Amino acid sequence: MGNSSSSKGWRANKWVRAAIPALLLHFSIGTVYCWSLFSEAISNDIGWDKPAVEWAFSFAIFFLGMSAAFLGGIVEKNIHLSSLIATICFATGMAGTGFFIYYGSTHKHNLVALLGIYICYGFIMGVALGTGYLSPVKTLMLWFEDRKGLATGLAVAGFGGAKAIASPIMEWLQPKFGTSTMFYILAVVYFCMMFVGHLLLKKPEGWVEPTNKDKSEGIVATIKTKGWANYIGIWVMFYINITCGLALISQEKMIVKCVGLAAFAGIISTFSAIFNAGGRLGFSAWADSLKDRNTIYKLIFILSIALTGIVMLTGAIKNAASPVEGFASIDTKNTILVILVLALIFMVNAGYGGGFSNVPTLLSDHYGMGNISAIHGITLSAWAFAGLSGNQMATWIVGKFGTPVNGTLHGDPVVVNPTGYQYVLYATIALYCVALCMSLFLVKKSDKAIAAEKAAK
């Protein structure tokens, strides 16, 4: 197989043909996580309450996972077709969302407007997310054979870091042009970025896809080589890591207010995004130096369990809660408790990101490169179900347990539930323990890891 060290010219350059197009694609589709910036504005524009509008984002994540699962075969066969599908669907979904926001603003509380946003932002953009997420991953691993983790971590970090880059741009566009027009502008910008990525994306010269077996049968046969228990273990621990991450991240803003750091909420959110992106790049790059990539998941789960347990035992969220009359200041005697809460938030963000970037390389170590896009796509169905369960689980727990505390922040009423946030940790630590057991007992060492251990002896 050809690689960048033996190929000459920009046409065969791994940065031009893999890394840059991957970043262009992932920086575009990763802006789906900017939803919270304009969801309330959409609710006000179309006249539907926020919980009804929020389903658009849940649908987007669900269809991301499901389209990756069902369209992974297309990505496997033709990355140019899949990246083109992603480009067209993402731009169409963006523009369509803008149209239905405009329609809803002139026809308040209209069901057509709400369903249109579900279809455009949820389904059409969801398909773009799934195909766009998968398209560059295998190509990166082919170009960066010796540093697969670094390569995939770079692209997936782009997906995670897109919010940090796009947020200030959207916050400038929205008040200046209005929400619907903002979506039209973004549709054009992201179409151009993704189309350039689509044109540049190319597998290395000399790589020949396996043709000696039917792909659909090949996927099943490939997974069977390690046993279904091994694959189920990978799927479940991936699902749990996302579910726990979303459960805490969805409550992050209110927890920050609760412990007296409301004035620094924006800074903390930025640091969370940095840890998320850093975890995607750092954990995956670190895994390149390890004999068994599953070691990274063990580390993520152990650290998450340890910090969650410490915050639970100290009652850090509840005991560091600010006085009822205001959530803007922090009591110095609770500084250590606040630091523990922040450490947990940052670790969960890093582990959440690291779980994403390590799964394609872990799968490639176990099942090879022949069907990796299709197998990775099926595995991303875990993301689809976690997108529906993580936020909702945390919301249900906070609503069911503890007592809401009323206060004011900058003159505005604020309601927090310190006990409810603590109870979320009971659920996440139990799930993290299950994930660790999966990592320890169900996920076997890959042949590559076994060979590396033998070579080291």
Q: Identify the bridge partners of residue 412 per DSSP, sorted by sequence position.
A: 409
Is residue 301 over pLDDT 90? Answer: yes
Is pLDDT at 289 greater than 50 in this prediction?
A: yes
pLDDT score of 321: 72
* H helix runs in 250-371, sequence order: 252-258, 265-287, 294-314, 316-319, 335-367
Domains 13-208 and 215-457 alike in fold: yes
Encoded amino acid at 333, one letter: K
CB atoms within 10 A of CB 409: 16
Q: At the topology level of CATH, where does 13-208 sit?
A: Growth Hormone; Chain: A; (1.20.1250)
What is the share, in percent, of the chain residues with pLDDT greater than 90?
54
| 287-to-150, 269, 282, 364, 431 alpha-carbon distances in Å | 9, 27, 9, 13, 23
Reply yes or no on whether the pLDDT at 8 is more than 50: no
Which of these ranges, 9-13, 266-270, 304-308, 427-431, has the smallest mean pLDDT?
Answer: 9-13
Q: Is the pLDDT at 262 greater than 80, yes or no?
A: no
pLDDT-derived band at 373, boundaries 50, 70, 90? confident
Map out the domains of the chain as residue ranges: 13-208, 215-457
pLDDT of 410 above 60: no
pLDDT value of residue 298 = 97
Q: What pLDDT sits at residue 12?
A: 57
| Alpha carbons 357 and 280: distance in angstroms, whole number | 5
Per-residue pLDDT tens digits for 302-349: 999 999 999 999 999 988 875 444 454 555 557 889 999 999 999 999
CA distance 98 to 179: 7
Q: CA 163 to CA 337: how far, in whole Å?
A: 29
* pTM for the structure as a whole: 0.83
Per-residue pLDDT for 456 more than 80? no
Which pLDDT does position 1 carry in this prediction? Answer: 44
Secondary-structure class of domain 215-457 per CATH: mainly alpha
pLDDT recorded at residue 3: 44
Stretch 89-113: mean pLDDT: 96
Whole-number Å distance between alpha carbons of 51 and 66: 23
What is the chain's mean pLDDT, rounded? 87
Whole-Å CA distances, 63 to 155, 362, 366, 384: 20, 23, 26, 6
SS3 breakdown of the chain: % helix, strand, coil, rounded to 5?
A: 80, 0, 15
Give per-residue pLDDT as tens, 172-203.
999 999 999 999 999 999 999 999 999 999 88
Task: State residue 284's pLDDT score.
Answer: 92
Q: What is the mean pLDDT of residues 358-378?
A: 89
What are phi and psi for residue 242, nearest 5 degrees? -70, -45
